[in-house]
Chain A
Amino acid sequence: MKPTDIAAPDYFHKVVDCQWACPAHTPVPEYIRLIAQGRYSDAYMINWKSNVFPGILGRTCDRPCEPACRRGRVEETPVAICRLKRVAADFKDDIKQRLPRPAPKNGKRVAFVGGGPASLTVARDLAPLGYHCTVFDADPEAGGMMRTQIPKFRLPNSVIDEETGYILGLGVEFKGGHRIESMKSLLAEKYDAIFVGSGAPRGRELDIPGRKEAAGNIHIGIEWLASVSFGHIDKIGKRVIVLGGGNTAMDCCRTARRLGGEKVTVIVRSGFEEMKASPWEKEDALHEDIPILNYMVPVAFKHVAGKLIGVTFQHVKAEYDAKGRRNLVPSGDPDQTIPCDDVLVAVGQENAFPWIEQDCGIEFDKWHMPKVDPKTFVSTNPKVFFGGDAAFGPKNIIWAVAHGHDAALSIHKMLSGEDITERPLPEVHVSSQKMGIHEWSYDNDISIDKRYKVPHRDKVIALKDIRAEVELGYDVKLALGEAERCLNCDVQTVFSTSLCIECDACADICPMDCITFTGNGEESDLRQRLKAPSPHPDQDLYVSSDLKTGRVMVKDEDVCLHCGLCAERCPTGAWDMQKYFIDMTHAGSTCPTKSRSAA
């Protein structure tokens, strides 16, 4: 193998698995260290810069970081990254002084369709640069789906108000209760750019017999959740069936439990394991005594005199064809009718753009989705950009934020007369953490604690009040314990070939047998000759150039604890522990300076 080029920004970035997996590339280990030090406001600002909604995401994020977390490959469970983010939000001081100041206007106007996470991220990045940002939303308050679709017992209004408030406070104009009905007339208002962040607002229908006749007791999940959120609906029948296996279904069933649903059942077509809902959301539903039945396909709504009395299901089983594709085929068991009073349909969401006219210069593909460039987020109309669920279909908040940052950069470049396809590289800082002979500026003593559970409100109380937040969040002590579980993967092991005397001290001390000195070879061959097995080929090998004896140093990054013992036992300083900090490129410099954000 060729010697590893550690100067390439992506090499060390990939080693920080959580940050690499995060769509917005939040510097996770950095903020977790700050939490451990009690510097909650600093931790919050690191998050605020990357993901804009730390308090909201700390409660609701889909957490792509956690399955990626290295800790999950070392022991059973990853670090509770998401809930630590909430800790930063919960315990921070007043951070208003740290926010960017509203800038003098530069005369350029940008319109936003929809006031959800994607639009607000773009506005957050652009407003401090002097753009006049106007956000239109059909709802009276900002937040989009974060406010309407996520139940209050998971995400209180106060958190949404606070974090949307930080953005609107930058001088962003918010026009609530103002639905954009025509792209053409919006274009006619001569905005310099338009960002569409209108989400995926339409719940998918379930067109089976009885749907029309029993319509009074059949509700589309996200519409029903929005009505609950605005207080239009405050009760439901005692027996409720929720159809669908995504996170919306989980929100529906738990909301139903709080509005009078005594016997709430979730029923999914697929197997329990393949459900789209996050494992922890399924857990929370089960904890609230909501059974989840699987491999059952709804075939008809049963009704008497216009009133729903139940749903009939066909039992299916999974069969896999030669290509490994799954097909659901009838299991042969007789159909089963489950009695109920109400049904919530949460079988998916769709995009809908009835308000974009054919002749706006915005082309759509055969799935009726706008043609959007995945890097710049520009549509076929060079002034119109899309992001969040509106761009590529339903995803989640953190993806909307990532889209927003990229779209903001595009808009800023376009309005500065630059080529939007040229994307500036991120800024990378690498600095030694050595403080003394065997002292580091980070805590390298590895905690063996298991993942700490987040305290929950007592179930009886929680089920009585739909606005009572179920998760109480870590207290300071639990947060410290959990923060100590982080392996500091951003503190990189950096090897200097010229200093190595091949004494083997690093290979001997390494608790994970990551380091091997051996003859060079092809990657597949090298992976066979390492001290310990190498089961994850997606995890890079760090290979040195030739050493004095002609061998090379090979380090499998896979399960490195970043404990720094290789560097402590190295007599010549050939190993050093260096912190890698990557500043993703955002539009302009909208955020606190590096010297303040990088501890």
Chain B
Amino acid sequence: MTYIAKPKFHHPGLKKNELGYTHRDYEGKISTLCAGCGHDSITASIIEACYELSIEPHRVAKISGIGCSSKTPDYFLGNSHGFNSVHGRMPSVLTGANLANRDLIYLGVSGDGDSASIGFGQFAHSIRRGVNMTYIVENNGVYGLTKGQFSATADRGSKSKKGVTNTDNAIDLVAIALQLGATFVARSFSGDKTQLVPLIAAAIRHKGASFIDVISPCIAFNNHAGSTKSFDYVREHNDAVNRLDVLVGRDPIAVDYAPGTVQMVEQHDGSKIALRKIDADYDPHDRLGAQTFLARHAAKGQIVTGLLYVDPDAEDLHEHLNTVETPLNTLEADTLCPGSAVLDKINASLR
């Protein structure tokens, strides 16, 4: 753990966004996670996305459960609203907050333990209700805080740090989210910010339930040979279907690959990386196609990343419930309780 506060000085030439903030203004406290934790890169990506979208920090509510991932809201958006809830209960707290004040931007930050085990039901119901939120799972396949037991997203056959093989089947949260009707579904990798930052930005802009599964290597307990959530493994098996550079007006990435091609890069140690950057045939508006594509590639051991499904015309929970445009928490007593005359009228209509 780092004991000093991150120095207040910043690069004198840092660009400012429309609000006059630098990306440093979107930081929180210094991370207390292990050095090199993938979660810190996700934190940096959230900071970058909010900076690029020129979001006012006080318009954001960040809500989390319990676990390494759920500590991270302390490390970004230090001037936003936050609620660190009970283990696995982030979706309920977020849903409640969203119902009370529909005007805020809701960031749900959770982990594989928080969302795929103790909070699996909560995760499922918040997705199927279409709560307008960005639900990010920082997925490392391991219980880091309790020293490295397999979590529910650990792949069958992968090995723990001590060499034990996982015999349970893995839950693929992306597949579940697709099945339950999430209207923005993506997967990314903490080690690939050029992909992750635009995905987070796009998810924040999406109206409806956005779900992003971010594979985030646990340096302390799940970054060894035999792990399927290590930096090396994810880099070797990452199959990005698309790139979203256009979404947030960033400079296009320098290396462009022809659509649908697999480029093999041979490294110093002789190992090869398969790079399929853009799949020309992939249609991110086809929910069924996405599910099939995902299953087919998972069987080959490939990790499909990118924007997997989006419904641009999605509805959210407030539309389903037909609530008023005004946030419920700002409604005054006379609006909420229109008086006995109105009650009599309603009663009369039911007679």
A-side residues, CB < 8 A to B, are 73-75, 438, 444-446, 448, 501-505, 507-509, 511-514, 518-519, 529, 532-533, 535, 546, 548-550, 559, 561, 563, 565, 568-572
Contacts and interface: CB of A to CB of B under 8 A. Distances in A.
Interface residues of B, number: 42
Given A438-B3, A569-B36, A74 B12 contact: yes
B254 A508 contact: no
B345 interface: no
B71 interface: no
Nearest to A563: B7
B254 A502 contact: no
A445 B4 contact: yes
Given A444-B4, A568-B35, A571-B36, A504 B191 contact: yes
A571 B13 contact: no
B332 to A, nearest CB: 45
A567 to B, nearest CB: 9
Closest 8 A-B residue pairs measured CB to CB? A571-B36, A533-B13, A446-B7, A508-B44, A532-B11, A445-B4, A503-B36, A571-B219
Instruction: Name, among B24, B36, B38, B235, the residue most crowded by chain A CB atoms within 10 Å (CB to CB).
Output: B36
A486 to B, nearest CB: 14
A508 B27 CA distance: 11
Given A504-B44, A568-B35, A509 B6 contact: yes
Contacts of B235: 548-549
A283 to B, nearest CB: 25
Main secondary structure of the interface of A (DSSP, over half): loop
Interface of B: 1-14, 24, 30-31, 34-38, 40-41, 43-44, 190-191, 193, 217, 219, 223, 231-232, 235, 254-255, 265, 267-269, 273
A503 B44 CA distance: 12
B270 to A, nearest CB: 12
A177 B265 CA distance: 80
B194 to A, nearest CB: 10
B41 A503 contact: yes
17 contacts: A438-B1, A448-B7, A448-B9, A501-B223, A503-B231, A504-B193, A509-B2, A511-B6, A512-B11, A532-B11, A532-B14, A548-B232, A548-B235, A550-B267, A570-B35, A571-B34, A571-B37
Nearest to A571: B36
Contact of A503 (B219, B268, B273): B219
B219 to A, nearest CB: 4
A75 B5 CA distance: 18
B2 A548 contact: no
Contact of B35 (A74, A514, A563, A571): A571
A443 to B, nearest CB: 9
Given A501-B231, A504-B191, A548 B267 contact: yes
A513 B36 CA distance: 17
A70 to B, nearest CB: 11
Contacts of B24: 511
Given A504-B193, A561-B9, A509 B219 contact: no
A565 B8 CA distance: 13
B13 A535 contact: yes
Given A75-B9, A519-B255, A572-B36, 4 more contacts: A503-B217, A503-B231, A512-B10, A571-B37
